[in-house]
Chain A
Amino acid sequence: MAEQKVKFIVNGRSYEIPIEPHMTLVEVLRDKLDITGTKISCGAGECGACTVLIDGKAVLSCLTLAITAREKNILTIEGLAEKGNLHPIQKAFIDGGAIQCGFCTPGMILATKALLDKNPNPTHEEVKQGLAGNLCRCTGYVKIIDAVLAAAQKMRKGGS
């Protein structure tokens, strides 16, 4: 099918590019826009590595047809830091050693952001549920959950 020009809003910036309807959002982000922080792994909705936020909700960009995300607010890992300052969640992951190989990290952090935006003071169990769709093959879940709780605490105090 013919390409068509579509407007995407990624991390607050507009892009108008030609795409085809069978392209998934992660392909457009990575291959068309060169925004490669979003990872692609299983392609089947199991691993969460491709998680981005669309209008504030965590979704899987590998199962989203890009055309359906046009003109919506897409947030990727690149959009979290402000003016060169890491987001408190990013800082908490680094400080807590919640990153090993790093491949799951963008998805983990965006799933965390979606969780904390709705629930600033989650329990340990709520963090586990919020991140149930994100796999870490380095099995670093303990530190990841601790980092989310630490980030939540810091954000509640308004700190960065």
Chain B
Amino acid sequence: MTRPLKPFVYFEPSTIKEAVQILDTYGTKAKVLAGGVDLVARMRLRQIRPEYVVSILNIPKLDYIQSDGAGLKFGALVTIRSLELSPKVQKNYAILYEAASQIASVQVKNMGTAVGNLCVATPASDIAAALYALSAKLRIISPVSERVIPIEEFFIGVNQTVLKPGEIVTEVIVPSPAPQTGGAFFKLVRTTSDIAKVNVAVSLTVTDNTCREARVALGSVAPTVIRANQAEEALKRSRLEPKAVEEAAQLAAQEAKPITDLRSTVEYRSEMVRVLVRRAMEKALTRVRT
């Protein structure tokens, strides 16, 4: 459907402070515009009808990717395409690169921001799954406070986050992976432009052939991206032989709580969690060892 958008009052603040004050004033009647891929499409479909649209596109210093020994930081206006093309991301954050590079199309990635993707809070978010595995944190700013929270505390449910009216996410902070760490991201889709049936991001830290740290994130199989805690625990201190990997994958499949919808069934999604977690672990291991 290509009907026009309903009219709204448009703001274009030039500072974060100004933006959060406007958002605070209008509360749930206001929406933030960054890339617009999700917002404008849903406004056209009448799924949402904001009376106020607050563009953050003209706020300076939100479009940066910084990387040093401590890790990676990027601002709220960094597009998914910029992450994909960033040599720093490609080199040191393979999970994030693999997630970004497999999303939809060049056009969507040129427009859509990674932070915007998180704020939409779809359980199928490839970016969210990657950032779970990478232990990312989010900086959230309101008119009166600033806080940094782990990404796992950000999502409440489908299309729901902890953001209160008047709050925006300004930055994503990804710690530098520990030495001897490898990761991988895998997803299953109908077509490249569709959202994931299942996505999986795995990060493993291995020393002396023993797994010291494991993070296994699963997308599209619960109301939010989740971590497969039992699979992670089973991996820790294991020798990561094929049997241990297969058992962990099996546990992850049991921890997934998918639904049946037009894209897939409960049974198929669970089975694919097992397959993709195994493949992601195998790939992550090859990366630790090279």
Contacts and interface: CB of A to CB of B under 8 A. Distances in A.
B33 interface: yes
Judged by DSSP, the binding face of A is loop
B106 A68 contact: no
Nearest to A110: B107
A39 to B, nearest CB: 10
Interface residues of B, number: 31
Given A1-B7, A22-B6, A42-B2, A133 B36 contact: no
A60 interface: yes
Interface residues of A, number: 34
Nearest to B191: A132
Contact of A24 (B12, B33, B40): B40
B10 A58 contact: no
A63 B9 contact: no
A43 B2 contact: yes
A48 B107 contact: yes
A22 B186 CA distance: 38
A22 B4 contact: yes
Contacts of B6: 22
B108 A60 contact: yes
Given A59-B111, A133-B105, A22 B7 contact: yes
B8 A58 contact: no
B45 interface: yes
A58 B106 contact: yes
Given A60-B37, A132-B192, 6 more contacts: A1-B9, A24-B40, A43-B3, A59-B110, A132-B104, A133-B106
Interface in A102-123: 111, 114-115
B55 A68 contact: yes
Interface of A: 1, 20-24, 27, 40-46, 48, 51, 57-60, 62-65, 67-68, 111, 114-115, 129-130, 132-134
Given A132-B105, A133-B104, A133-B106, A1 B4 contact: no
B2 A48 contact: no
Given A22-B5, A45-B37, A67 B110 contact: no
B107 A60 contact: yes
A95 B93 CA distance: 43
Nearest to A46: B193
A132 B106 contact: yes
A66 to B, nearest CB: 11
Given A48-B107, A64-B111, A130-B106, A21 B10 contact: yes
A103 B28 CA distance: 39
B7 A43 contact: no
A137 B55 CA distance: 34
Nearest to A64: B36
Contacts of A65: 10, 33, 36, 40, 53, 55
B57 A44 contact: no
Contacts of B262: none
Q: Which 7 residue pairs across A and B have the least CB separation, nearest first?
A: A133-B105, A21-B10, A43-B2, A22-B5, A63-B40, A133-B107, A57-B110
Contacts of A40: 2
B117 to A, nearest CB: 13
A44 B46 CA distance: 12
Contacts of B110: 57-59
Contacts of A114: 106
A88 B7 CA distance: 41
Interface string B248-268: 000000000000000000000
B255 to A, nearest CB: 32
Nearest to A41: B2
